[in-house]
């Protein structure tokens, strides 16, 4: 492995200036569960690894109606927090199934986002919870919706010298529910053939859909926000039949490939099934009887 | 390996941590994993290398009360941490109930995965003394065994759970 400097940053300025100094020869280290594997596999070489876990903003986890998840907060801290689990069920579904317990001790949702694989379990739930990312670089700080962050397999909106600081999720509306499910051939420790996250807000009667958001994993070059299926659901009655129609629309928004994990045909089918199932689960949670 | 320009020579970093209850200091090249430091720098070869990419759990150690794959943590990240490896599991002059149960239930064959299973299972039973079979299986999903087929391992953990009550 190419030798690199270890830079334990204690604040954002230090980290950003290290990133600016080394350009694309430096990366941020959070949990390391992707980074160290990729370095060891010599997928790329680095001259510097900037450890971000001593930067207060990157390890912040604050629930104040909305939720702020620092980019380096490990998954277990998110799913072991019962108040977060109650308010942000879609996030918990993902945080508790990424890898095994050992991985969840270190891996972060921010790292999952920055690694930017189309199959990431963590990204779609952040999209349907209307997550917004905060990015800082030498030229200042900017924000963007999570669905705009990934730009291709392993690629994202971070420019040279920029780093992800946090993911901010707004306070869910009343009668809100969300869920994430994936299809894998075994029960744990696998990469999604297809993953679907759905979020739904019902009206006060609990029968009509006010708004919905659906996002698809592993069926395109990036996680996909299924805009048409999401918009179709607004104003509809919350029945399984409606959700099956939403699944059929979502399937048309998927652009999967055939690979070792599944075929194009299977993946389109799985989008339909998982969209319907996650909507049913999200509605159960929205009605408070999950 | 690539020729490194002189200004990029990487210096070893002094690291201080608590290892199996003992204050420990070592020098770590920044690109070495905690697993490599444990085995090659500190001579603690109880922790095993399996896949070396975070799938198999053979290298599981306990860091500040959480189990991690030591192949996916840098040695330099051990600074200030409290680390327990398989060498710290047994009390002086005896076996931990999990080790005893693994022997009695024949929960190992080749033994490469065993230290990882023991460190993982110990963390579970200390945090959740009443963990049921389903919980044990889910918790140990990050530890792979290619010999026993898991049932004996689960039975051993359940036996140790009763011993530890």
pLDDT tens-digit readout, A94-110 = 999 999 999 999 999 99
Query: For an interface test with A, which of B5, B11, B142 has the most A Cβ atoms less than 10 Å from its Cβ?
Result: B142
Question: What is the per-residue pLDDT for B9?
Answer: 61
- Fold (CATH) for B97-164: DNA polymerase; domain 1 (1.10.150)
Question: What is the per-residue pLDDT for A288?
Answer: 87
Which residues of chain A form CATH 3.30.390.50? 176-286
pLDDT in tens, A171-197: 999 999 999 999 998 777 788 999 999
Which residues of chain A form CATH 3.30.43.10? 5-51
Q: How far is CA A233 from the centre of its chain?
A: 22
Over residues A55-64, mean pLDDT: 98
pLDDT in tens, A144-177: 999 999 999 999 999 999 999 999 999 999 999 9
Local confidence band at A290 (pLDDT 50, 70, 90 cut-offs): low
d(CA B98, CA B10): 42
Mean pLDDT of chain A: 96
- Fold (CATH) for A176-286: Enolase-like; domain 1 (3.30.390)
Backbone φ/ψ region at B63: left (φ over 0), alpha (ψ -120 to 50), beta: beta
CATH 3.30.70.100 fits A56-169, yes or no: no
B28 vs chain A: nearest CA distance in angstroms? 10
pLDDT in tens, B127-142: 999 999 999 999 999 9
A87 vs chain B: nearest CA distance in angstroms? 24
Over residues A237-249, mean pLDDT: 98
d(CA A275, CA B162): 43
Which residues of chain A form CATH 3.30.465.10? 56-169
The verdict on ipTM greater than 0.90 is yes
**CA atoms B33, B116, B95, B46: torsion sign:** negative
Question: What is the per-residue pLDDT for B6?
Answer: 46
- Fold (CATH) for A5-51: 3.30.43
Query: For an interface test with B, which of A8, A44, A100, A189 has the most B Cβ atoms less than 10 Å from its Cβ?
Result: A100
Q: Where exactly are the structural domains of chain B?
A: 6-88, 97-164
Question: What is the per-residue pLDDT for A190?
Answer: 80
What class has domain B6-88? alpha beta
């Amino acid at each position: 492995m190419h030798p690199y400097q270890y830079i334990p940053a204690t604040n954002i300025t230090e980290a950003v200036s290290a990133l600016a100094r080394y350009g694309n020869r430096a990366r941020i280290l959070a949990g390391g569960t992707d980074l160290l594997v990729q370095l060891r596999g010599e997928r790329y070489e680095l001259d510097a690894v900037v450890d971000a876990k001593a930067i207060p903003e990157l390890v912040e986890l604050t629930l104040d109606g909305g939720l702020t998840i620092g980019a380096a907060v490990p998954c277990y801290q998110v799913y072991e927090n019962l108040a977060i689990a109650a308010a942000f069920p879609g996030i918990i579904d993902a945080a508790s199934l990424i890898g095994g317990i050992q991985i969840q001790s270190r891996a972060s949702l921010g790292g999952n986002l920055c690694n930017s694989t189309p199959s990431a379990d963590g990204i779609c739930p952040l999209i349907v919870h209307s997550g917004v990312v905060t990015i800082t670089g030498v030229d200042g700080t900017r924000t963007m919706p999570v669905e705009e962050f990934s730009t291709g397999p392993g690629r994202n909106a971070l420019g040279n010298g920029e780093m992800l600081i946090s993911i901010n999720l707004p306070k869910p509306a009343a009668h809100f529910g969300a869920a994430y499910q994936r299809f894998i051939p075994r029960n744990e420790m696998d990469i999604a053939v297809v993953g679907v996250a759905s979020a739904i807000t019902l009206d006060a009667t609990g029968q009509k859909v006010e708004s919905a958001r659906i996002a698809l994993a592993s069926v395109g070059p990036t996680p996909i926000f299924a805009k048409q299926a999401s918009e179709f659901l607004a104003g509809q009655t919350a029945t399984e039949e409606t959700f099956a129609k939403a699944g059929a629309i979502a399937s048309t928004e998927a652009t999967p490939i055939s690979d070792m994990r599944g075929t194009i045909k299977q993946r389109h089918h799985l989008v339909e099934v998982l969209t319907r199932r996650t909507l049913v689960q999200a509605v159960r949670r929205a009605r408070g009887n999950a | 390996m690539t020729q490194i320009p002189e200004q990029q020579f990487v210096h070893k970093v002094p690291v201080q941590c608590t290892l199996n209850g003992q204050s420990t200091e070592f020098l770590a090249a920044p690109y070495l994993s905690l697993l490599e430091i444990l085995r090659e720098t500190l001579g603690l070869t109880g922790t095993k290398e399996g896949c070396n990419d975070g799938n198999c759990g053979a290298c599981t150690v306990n860091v500040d009360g959480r189990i991690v794959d030591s192949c996916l943590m840098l040695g330099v990240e051990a600074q200030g941490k409290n680390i327990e490896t398989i060498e710290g599991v047994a009390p002086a002059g005896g076996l931990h109930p999990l080790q005893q149960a693994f022997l009695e239930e024949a929960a190992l064959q080749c033994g490469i995965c065993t230290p990882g299973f023991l460190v993982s299972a110990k963390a579970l039973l200390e945090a959740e003394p009443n963990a049921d079979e389903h919980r044990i299986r889910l918790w140990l999903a990050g530890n792979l065994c290619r010999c026993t087929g898991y049932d004996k391992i689960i039975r051993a953990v359940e036996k140790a759970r009763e011993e530890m009550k």
